[in-house]
Structure 1
């Protein structure tokens, strides 16, 4: 009879053969293995742990693993991947796990809820109220997503000295952006967004002046929701560039990697998230009065991103004109060089991608909608 390693290998091979998955799962949960349920579930736990551990050693972070599983499978499968993540980190000394990883695990709800020493998949089936066939099928689906993922550049994790945005400032900016997203009046949204931009710009400049000359850049991944990933990537790239960051798109995986300093990365997340909400709402509103075709919406979002970029250039020129501290310009230049150096180290081979538009009405509607959206500070050069 097959032993633990044999069953683990069979599960991994089945994950790579979608047409054979159901047959393998039926065999392992059928009468021939009726008395070996613990062994089969232990094998599933083992191979999931190996695959997840390998991803974490190859540049993936906990949130990335959860998000790609949810995108390519479903929420239940992503939950099982989250359990494997929690088990992997649970085996490490707490001091060796970066606070950002703990935060990501908390964000996706990955905690050790099961009784240690017993097969996790068996307990998962009982908790979910499903049979052994459904539970093992879920594990094989997770393996099918995770086992073939490519290695990613290992992003640097910030040190305690690389503080992000103060919590009170984040709360003020979030409140302004929430109002901008909820109002039905474009003029009010623009005024609120402009106020948020003013707060972000001032805070970023102040932090640049007092930061350590030895402070290094950092990097994060920004996941996008389908559809229209290319157009949404263009919008996030414009926001990143405006905040003295650089971005590169992994369109097939569904995220961007953004390189910058911690304060600027915090603002990129806030601003890009808000703009994506505003852009989507504006796109849907425009569709109610015009076209709802895919070409219209694609053109709308690309035009929206392009016009946002132009407005950011205008805002940067105005912000630069107001800078009176002579120390600021060399500091910003040094920080820009740090970002460029880290970007080149992480992504030595990037190529530019052009976007085509076939719907003029969508393009015009997108540019018009961008006139009442939100902005950011300085637009630096971007490769994506």
Structure 2
């Protein structure tokens, strides 16, 4: 037996012993105050994380008899403590909701969203970074409950759950949050942001982004390939023109180039293969990526506008890749995991080749020498932030187990609409 197996077995034995001791010595739950309840919630969540899943149900049954007010205070307190640990550990609101949605049920997702809303309400909106505010809107984290009663009590009533059922949700969600690893800190913490932080991303024209998102939404919903291609090409043209105009303006105004980081969460399965596609798009847009395959996202590092282009184009290409993969055949082999992973890896490789070729052609048309120092400074900023956030990355290789999948993925990538043609810079002066 390996050392890690022995450690896990020892942890499970300790969890069983703690649970038995709690049940043997536990007083009537109605006599517990908030601190006592919180301690039992932490212990139960810790046991659950070590595989002792039956303890969640046992503790939930026991604590269901606790005083409603003390129980509500305890539940709010343990999650406040958990979030105050996770924010400095690099986690963001959207990240937490993504993890909970993958590991828990819909009740847990709603509950964690609520406790995030509670936690954020203690900060003035002006002290939250713009991307924090965007994420809170995205996950719809806003208080819906009257503040004259505890949130936990009202949450139970809203979802028609008993206290025991609700406590099981609480313990499982808390265990999931407790098990999360530390991530690089990519945004100012809540309460510490300022106007200067927001101005760092001011080069991204939100009106242009709104137009691009609208075009891509129409492209993804239409059933006519020609229409989708025209809409996607128009979207990329708008973004490309805006990117070059922004770079020329930075050159004229001698604006220092900066880099930032963001996370793109990917649907399962085949997270690794899908991340390769996003990484290929990022590389073509002067950005870099690091894959967190077990968690389910790829971290991108680049200039804000380049990251916007990467996200928008990646989203469209992932949709096109999935559609092409599903439509590639009805045979048993085409539905296998080996075939589909090979398909997506080939798609990513071929898309990367096409994007690099398009970038080289675009560079041939880059007639304005003002761009050279700006792009060089931007590349330096990206490299420095990459090394700061991810100093110990390693490369990972993937096995292609299906020749048919590889060939089909390559063919599909050749048909994919990139819309990556960039305007002649002389027209954007």
TM-score (norm 2): 0.82
1:105 aligns with 2:136: yes
Give CA deviations for 1:310-356 in whole Å, capped at 9, x if unaligned.
Answer: 00011101111111111112211110111111111111111111111
Q: State the 1:241 CA deviation.
A: 1.1
1:284 aligns with 2:315: no
Match of 1:207 in 2: 246
Q: 1:236 aligns with which of 260, 278, 288?
A: 278
Q: State the 1:221 CA deviation.
A: 0.9
Distance 2:381 2:108 in 1: 39
1:357 aligns with 2:387: no
Distance 2:392 2:336 in 1: 35
Distance 1:121 1:168 in 2: 40
Distance 2:293 2:324 in 1: 23
Residue ranges of structure 1 left out of the alignment (5+ in a row): 379-384
Distance 1:340 1:93 in 2: 34
Distance 1:340 1:169 in 2: 27
Match of 1:227 in 2: 269
Q: 1:22 aligns with which of 21, 38, 57?
A: 57
Stretch of structure 1 that moved more, 169-178 or 105-114: 169-178
Is the 8 Å Cα contact of residues 58 and 153 (structure 1) preserved in structure 2?
yes
Q: SS in structure 2 opposite 1:371? A: helix
Is the 8 Å Cα contact of residues 22 and 137 (structure 1) preserved in structure 2?
yes
Distance 1:94 1:318 in 2: 45
Q: State the 1:13 CA deviation.
A: 1.4
Q: SS in structure 2 opposite 1:220? A: strand
Match of 1:8 in 2: 38
Match of 1:273 in 2: 315
Match of 1:343 in 2: 386
Give CA deviations for 1:39-68 in whole Å, capped at 9, x if unaligned.
Answer: 122211110111022111221111111111
Bigger-Rg structure (1/2): 2
Is the 8 Å Cα contact of residues 15 and 21 (structure 1) preserved in structure 2?
yes
Distance 1:318 1:199 in 2: 18
Match of 2:71 in 1: 40
Is the 8 Å Cα contact of residues 186 and 372 (structure 1) preserved in structure 2?
no
Q: SS in structure 1 opposite 2:267? A: coil
Give CA deviations for 1:140-175 in whole Å, capped at 9, x if unaligned.
Answer: 121011012111111046532422532332244334
Structure-to-structure mapping, 1:75-154, within 5 angstroms: 75-116=106-147, 118-154=149-185
In structure 2, relative to structure 1, the CA distance for the partners of 1:179 and 1:88 (3 Å cut) is: closer
CA-based RMSD: 2.0
Match of 1:381 in 2: none
1:301 aligns with 2:349: no
In structure 2, relative to structure 1, the CA distance for the partners of 1:47 and 1:121 (3 Å cut) is: same
Is the 8 Å Cα contact of residues 257 and 374 (structure 2) preserved in structure 1?
no
Is the 8 Å Cα contact of residues 129 and 187 (structure 2) preserved in structure 1?
no
Q: SS in structure 2 opposite 1:16? A: helix
Q: How many residues align?
A: 374
Is the 8 Å Cα contact of residues 243 and 264 (structure 1) preserved in structure 2?
yes
Q: SS in structure 2 opposite 1:291? A: helix
Give CA deviations for 1:75-126 in whole Å, capped at 9, x if unaligned.
Answer: 2201111111111111123322122212211111111122325321111001
Distance 1:127 1:178 in 2: 34
Match of 1:159 in 2: 198
Q: SS in structure 1 opposite 2:262? A: strand
Larger RCO: 1 or 2 (CA < 8 Å, sep 6+): 1
Q: State the 1:260 CA deviation.
A: 0.9
Distance 1:320 1:188 in 2: 28
Q: SS in structure 2 opposite 1:275? A: helix
Q: 1:317 aligns with which of 360, 366, 369?
A: 360
Distance 2:164 2:375 in 1: 58
Is the 8 Å Cα contact of residues 197 and 374 (structure 1) preserved in structure 2?
no
Distance 1:188 1:273 in 2: 18
Stretch of structure 1 that moved more, 174-183 or 212-221: 174-183
Residue ranges of structure 2 left out of the alignment (5+ in a row): 1-30, 189-196, 423-429
In structure 2, relative to structure 1, the CA distance for the partners of 1:112 and 1:172 (3 Å cut) is: closer
1:251 aligns with 2:293: yes
